[in-house]
C-alpha cells in the first residue's frame, strides 16, 4: 500500500520521501523540476502577508512593485516522465486559497463560454463594456490567482487569437501560471493558421513564466501500464480488487479527478482522469446516449482507458451493445490501451449473436483479444511516439 503524501513538505522533500519509501525511483531530472516548483512555492508563501488578514499586509501590498510578482513555471517534456505527478504535489502544497487546476482545453472552453455570455449581456443592454476580455480576466482572477494547466497545447485558432490579450490581462493582475506540456513554448501552435497573431503570447510566457525541461530517460507511465492485466473476468469482488490495484499502479503516485471533456455545446463526463489516463464504468460509456464523435474525442484525449463492469449483452441491451461495438472500434483504430473487467470472455459477452449485430460483435471480440497482445502494445507505442 502506497504511503499517503505529506503535503506539509516541499515538492522536492515529498519526492525524496516517496523515493525513500520505494514508491518512486530516484530521478535527477524530476528532482530538478521539483526544486523549480519549490521556488514558486516559496515566492507564493512570501506573497501571502500582503492580504486582508493583516493590517500591515495592506501597507506592504501598497509598496509591492510589479517586479515582485511571482514568476510561474512551464514544464515541458515527453509523455510519462512525471510532469503531472509533480504538478499534483505542487498544487496541493500551494498556499493560495484561490487556485485552479484544469486541463488547458477545459479552461479555454470555460473562457469562450464566459465571452459568449458577456456578448449576450452587451446585446441585451445589460452592460456597456464592449470588450469582454477585461471582464472575463477580472472574473477569472477573482476565482483563481494561481492557474495550473495540464497538457498545455494550442491547436484551435479561436484559442490562439485570444490567448495573448487574455493573459496580458491575467498577468497584469498578478496571476501565476504553472503548466505542463509536451512541447516547449516556442513550438506552441506551430504551423497554425495566422500564427503571427499568436506569437505575442509566446513573448508573454517568456516574461512571466520560467521554462524548464523534464527529460527523464524513463517513460514511467508506460513502464507501469505495460505490466498490467488488461482483461479481467468474471465480475466479482476479486475482479474489482484487481482493477483497483491495476488502476493505482497506473496512476504511479498521481491523483485522479473527475473532469468534463468539452464537446460542441456540451461535455462528456469523465469520472476519473489524470494526464492521459481515464477510468469509466460500462454504464458511463454505453448506457448514456454517446456516439462515434464522443468516443473519438475520448480516444484522442487519452492514451489508456479503464472500463469497469462490462455485463453480458443480451437483447434487452441492444443500444448498449451497439455503443460498445463503436467504442471498441474507435479505441482500436487509435491504438488506445484498454483495460476491462467483464462478465465473460469476449466471445461469450453477446448472449444472442443474430444478424448484422452478431457479425459486428465477432469483430469486437476479435479486437478485444488483439488489444491484449504484444503486437498491439507495440503499435500503441509506435503511434504515441509519432504524436
Asked whether residue 55 is assigned to any structural domain, the reply reads: no
54 has pLDDT over 90: no
State the Cα torsion 304-283-351-246 to the nearest 10°.
Answer: 40
For residue 158, the model assigns a pLDDT of 85
Name the band, by pLDDT with cuts 50, 70 and 90, for residue 80: low
CA separation for the pair 279, 274 (Å, rounded): 9
Q: Which residue has the higher pLDDT, 30 or 264?
A: 30
* 201 and 286 both lie in a single domain: no
Do 175 and 287 lie in one domain? The reply is no
- Segments forming the whole domain that contains residue 97: 11-48+65-213
Are 96 and 138 part of one and the same domain? yes
**Are 244 and 144 found together in one domain?**
no
The CATH number of whichever domain residue 251 belongs to comes to 3.40.50
Specify the higher pLDDT residue, 152 or 342: 342
Given pLDDT bands bounded at 50, 70 and 90, which one contains residue 3?
very low
pLDDT of residue 172: 95
Q: Per-residue pLDDT averaged across 55-63, rounded?
A: 46
- Same domain as 79, residue 201: yes
Average pLDDT over residues 143-163: 88
329 is a domain residue: yes
207 and 229 inside one domain: no
Predicted confidence (pLDDT) per residue in 303-313, tens digit: 899 999 999 99
With a cut of 90, say whether residue 163 has pLDDT above it. Answer: yes
Residue 250 pLDDT level (bands cut at 50, 70, 90)? confident
Average pLDDT of the segment spanning 182-205? 88
Cell match 483497483: residue? Answer: 244
CA–CA dist 111, 207 (Å, integer): 23
Asked if residue 60 is part of any domain, the answer here is: no
Task: Return the C-alpha cell found at 146.
Answer: 494561481
Residue 178 and residue 239 share a domain? no
Place of cell 487546476: 101
Question: What is the C-alpha to C-alpha distance for residues 320 and 328, in angstroms, rounded to an integer?
Answer: 12
Asked whether the predicted pLDDT for residue 64 surpasses 50, the reply is no
The number of distinct structural domains making up the chain is: 2
Residue 371's pLDDT is 84
Residue finishing a domain among 213, 248, 273: 213
As a whole number of angstroms, the distance between CA 17 and CA 26 comes to 10
Same domain membership, residue 73 and residue 180? yes
346, part of any domain: yes
Residues in a beta bridge with 319: none
Out of 175, 194, 213, pick the residue that ends a domain. Answer: 213
pLDDT at residue number 226: 52
Q: Is the pLDDT assigned to residue 324 strictly greater than 70?
A: yes
Looking at residues 162-179, what average pLDDT do you find? Answer: 95
103-112 pLDDT tens trace: 787 888 899 9
Residue 82 pLDDT grade (very low, low, confident, very high; cuts 50, 70, 90): confident
Summarize pLDDT for 325-380 with one digit per residue, the tens.
999 999 988 889 999 999 999 989 999 877 667 778 888 988 888 887 767 766 66
- The residues facing 178 across adjacent strands are 73, 148
In-domain check, residue 5: no
Boundary of a domain, candidates 213, 238, 271: 213
- The helix (H) or strand (E) run that includes residue 267 is strand 266-274
DSSP helix/strand/coil, 305: strand
Are 136 and 261 in the same domain? Answer: no
**One domain for residues 209 and 224:** no
Tell me how far CA of residue 143 lies from CA of 146, 147, 159, 194, 274, in angstroms: 9, 10, 21, 31, 23
CATH classification of the domain holding 107? 3.40.50.300
What pLDDT, on the 0 to 100 scale, is given for residue 140? Answer: 97
Radius of gyration (C-alpha) of the chain in whole angstroms: 23
- pLDDT score for 21: 80
53 part of a folded domain = no
Instruction: Please give the pLDDT value at position 62.
Output: 44
Q: Do residues 109 and 264 make contact, with C-beta atoms less than 8 angstroms apart?
A: no
Is residue 83 within 8 A of residue 214, CB to CB? The reply is: yes
Region 269-281: mean pLDDT is 94
pLDDT computed for residue 251 by the predictor: 86
Please report, rounded to a whole number, the percentage of residues in the chain having pLDDT higher than 90: 49
pLDDT tens, position by position, 196-249: 889 999 999 999 999 999 876 655 555 544 556 788 999 999 999 989 988 988
In this structure, the answer to whether residues 201 and 226 fall within a common structural domain is no
Give the containing element (helix H, strand E) for 260. Answer: strand 257-263
Measure the CA–CA gap between 154 and 105, rounded to whole angstroms: 8
Asked whether residue 203 is domain-assigned, the answer is yes
Residue 347 falls inside a structural domain: yes
Q: Crossing angle for the helix pair 83-93 and 11-20, nearest 10 degrees?
A: 120
Residue 252 has pLDDT above 90, yes or no: no
Together in a domain, 260 and 140? no
Amino acid at each position: 500500500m502506497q504511503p499517503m503524501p505529506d503535503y506539509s513538505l516541499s515538492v522536492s522533500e515529498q519526492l525524496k520521501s516517496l523515493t525513500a519509501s520505494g514508491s518512486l525511483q530516484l530521478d535527477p531530472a524530476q528532482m530538478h523540476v521539483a526544486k523549480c516548483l519549490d521556488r514558486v512555492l516559496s515566492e507564493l508563501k512570501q506573497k501571502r502577508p500582503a492580504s486582508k488578514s493583516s493590517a500591515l499586509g495592506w501597507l506592504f501590498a501598497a509598496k509591492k512593485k510589479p517586479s515582485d510578482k511571482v514568476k510561474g513555471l512551464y514544464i515541458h517534456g515527453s509523455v510519462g516522465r512525471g510532469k503531472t505527478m509533480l504538478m499534483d504535489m505542487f498544487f496541493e502544497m500551494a498556499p493560495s486559497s484561490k487556485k485552479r487546476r484544469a486541463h488547458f482545453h477545459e479552461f479555454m472552453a470555460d473562457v469562450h463560454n464566459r465571452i459568449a455570455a458577456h456578448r449576450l449581456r452587451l446585446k441585451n443592454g445589460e452592460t456597456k463594456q464592449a470588450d469582454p476580455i477585461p471582464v472575463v480576466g477580472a472574473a477569472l482572477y477573482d476565482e483563481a490567482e494561481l492557474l495550473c494547466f495540464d497538457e498545455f497545447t494550442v491547436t484551435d485558432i479561436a484559442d490562439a487569437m485570444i490567448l495573448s490579450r487574455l493573459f496580458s490581462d491575467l498577468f497584469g493582475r498578478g496571476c501565476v501560471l504553472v503548466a505542463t506540456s509536451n512541447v516547449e513554448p516556442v513550438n506552441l501552435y506551430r504551423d497554425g493558421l495566422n500564427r503571427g497573431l499568436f506569437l505575442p503570447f509566446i513573448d508573454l510566457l517568456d516574461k512571466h513564466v520560467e521554462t524548464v525541461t523534464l527529460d527523464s530517460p524513463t517513460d514511467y507511465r508506460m513502464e507501469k501500464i505495460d505490466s498490467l492485466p488488461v482483461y479481467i473476468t468474471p465480475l466479482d469482488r476479486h475482479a474489482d480488487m484487481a482493477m483497483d490495484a491495476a488502476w493505482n499502479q497506473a496512476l504511479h503516485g498521481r491523483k485522479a479527478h473527475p473532469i468534463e471533456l468539452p464537446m460542441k455545446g456540451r461535455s462528456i463526463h469523465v469520472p476519473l482522469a489524470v494526464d492521459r489516463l481515464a477510468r469509466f464504468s460500462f454504464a458511463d460509456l454505453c448506457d448514456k446516449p454517446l456516439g462515434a464523435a464522443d468516443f473519438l474525442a475520448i480516444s484522442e484525449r487519452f492514451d489508456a482507458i479503464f472500463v469497469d463492469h462490462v455485463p453480458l449483452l443480451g437483447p434487452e441491451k441492444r443500444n448498449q451493445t451497439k455503443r460498445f461495438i463503436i467504442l471498441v472500434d474507435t479505441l482500436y483504430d487509435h491504438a488506445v490501451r484498454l483495460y476491462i473487467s467483464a462478465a465473460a470472455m469476449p466471445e461469450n459477452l453477446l448472449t444472442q449473436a443474430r444478424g448484422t449485430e452478431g457479425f459486428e460483435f465477432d469483430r469486437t471480440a476479435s479486437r478485444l483479444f488483439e488489444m491484449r497482445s504484444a503486437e498491439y502494445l507495440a503499435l500503441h507505442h509506435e503511434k504515441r511516439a509519432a504524436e
